[in-house]
Amino acid sequence: MSLKPQKTVVSGIQPSGKLHLGNLIGALENWVSLQDKYHCYFFIADLHALTTGYDNVKKFKDDINEVAVDLMAVGLDPEKCVIFKQSDVPEHCELHLLFSMITPLPWLLRVPTYKSKIDEIKGKDLGTYGFLGYPVLQAADILIYKADFVPVGEDQVPHIELTREIARRFNHFYGNVFPLPQDLLTNVPVMPGIDGRKMSKSYGNTIALSDSPETIRKKVNLMITDPARIKKEDKGHPGVCTVFEYHRIFNQPNVEQIRRECIDAARGCVDCKKEFLNHLLRYLEPIQKRRAEIMEHPKKVESVLEEGRLKASKIAAATLYEAKTSMGII
Ligand code: TRP
Ligand code: SF4
């Protein structure tokens, strides 16, 4: 008998290259803890990646595989949760199409990510049908499993609101089929990149989960500390130092002591970085070990995704059938 309560959690991650510390702390660690408490569906959102990456698919397959390996390496366990690739379950697409019939255009045009992404990603035509419909596809991803909770970052909250609006409208027209899912906001600090800006693939400032210890050491060495601190005798300002931010995230028990020593000029930046580097490497060790094991059995990744596809399809097909029946299609 399962001890899990019957609540369902759904979330997806775009395969936009190797996953990094920001993904780990911002999402994946939370996913790993959720898999023990809920029925979880975690998927690689390859179709969502196409809404912005449609013109560059050369590395697409590798990127998808890389993310699958990362998901397993961080500790998602195919025995505890369903791990799959979005496009392997075409019911998402069919439900997306049905939802597109009832989603008013103004709802999509006022989603904040719509305008902000267009401004952010310069030099690419995002005036596409697929990109405007991004949140409709996301609503289908979530509602096809009748999710109760959706763990996401702050920027995704409007998408979950829209998901509820679509569910409400569907239920209003055709009868009560869909629940109204809630976002599960993780209360985590924004992960700085090695340059101090938010860690993001598009800034090229990430530390990837799969970076070698040597690469990580080089990146940590590049990190900006307190620019006003030229000599070791200068008093430091931890509040403006990226390395201090990292200590806060990965070295919490020692953070007050580090703050004091920095302010009192009792620790040098070189030693401070070294201490952080050791903490980070220790933190990543189990992940990297699992990754190496998985890489030795590439077929394992394929079979996990296949098993995930089968489990996800079963639920997705049942929900789609119910939706189509209530719409009078079947
Ligand atoms: N839009 C999400 C992001 O960029 C990824 C995503 C796609 C997702 N479908 C989802 C997240 C369904 C939660 C639920 O982070
Ligand atoms: Fe940053 Fe540490 Fe140097 Fe202080 S001692 S400025 S916290 S790197």
Instruction: Report pLDDT digits (tens) over 237-282.
Output: 999 999 999 999 999 999 999 999 999 999 999 999 999 999 999 9
Q: Give the pLDDT of residue 86.
A: 98
Average pLDDT of the chain to the nearest whole number: 95
Closest atom of ligand 2 to CA, residue 237: 6
Q: pLDDT band at residue 1, thresholds of 50, 70 and 90?
A: low
Structural tokens at position 171? 């239920």
| pLDDT tops 70 at residue 91 | yes
> Ligand 2: does its nearest atom lie under 6 Å from the Cβ of 22?
no
> Ligand 2: does its nearest atom lie under 6 Å from the Cβ of 244?
yes
Pocket mutation for ligand 1, best pick of 138, 164, 166 (most atoms within 8 Å of C-beta): 138
Q: pLDDT band at residue 16, thresholds of 50, 70 and 90?
A: confident
| Residue found under tokens 């001890």 | 3
Q: Give the pLDDT of residue 5.
A: 61
CA angle in degrees (0–180, nearest 5) for 256-260-263: 135
> Ligand 2: does its nearest atom lie under 6 Å from the Cβ of 272?
yes
Q: Give the pLDDT of residue 2.
A: 54
> Ligand 2: does its nearest atom lie under 6 Å from the Cβ of 98?
no
Q: Give the pLDDT of residue 187.
A: 78
| Cα gap 47→219, rounded to integer Å | 32
For ligand 1, atom 13, the nearest C-alpha belongs to 11
DSSP string, 75-102: T--TTTSEEEEGGG-THHHHHHHHHHHH
Lowest mean pLDDT among 4-8, 170-174, 239-243, 289-293: 4-8
Q: Give the pLDDT of residue 160.
A: 98
| Residue found under tokens 């049942």 | 318
For ligand 1, atom 8, the nearest C-alpha belongs to 12
Work out the average pLDDT over 289-304: 95
Q: 223 alpha carbon to ligand 1 midpoint, in Å?
A: 30
| pLDDT tops 60 at residue 4 | no
| pLDDT tops 80 at residue 162 | yes
**Domains of the chain by range and CATH?**
8-191+298-326 (3.40.50.620), 213-292 (1.10.240.10)
| Cα gap 166→114, rounded to integer Å | 17
> Ligand 1: does its nearest atom lie under 6 Å from the Cβ of 12?
yes
Work out the average pLDDT over 280-307: 96
Q: Give the pLDDT of residue 8.
A: 98
| Cα gap 30→35, rounded to integer Å | 9
| pLDDT tops 70 at residue 322 | yes
Q: 49 alpha carbon to ligand 1 midpoint, in Å?
A: 10
Dihedral, CA of residue 145, residue 151, residue 156 and residue 162, to nearest 10: 40
Higher per-residue confidence, 16 vs 236: 236
Q: 43 alpha carbon to ligand 1 midpoint, in Å?
A: 9
Among the listed residues 136, 65, 8, the one whose alpha carbon sits nearest the alpha carbon of residue 291: 65
* Predicted structure pTM score: 0.94
Work out the average pLDDT over 208-231: 94
For ligand 1, atom 15, the nearest C-alpha belongs to 13
> Ligand 1: does its nearest atom lie under 6 Å from the Cβ of 45?
yes
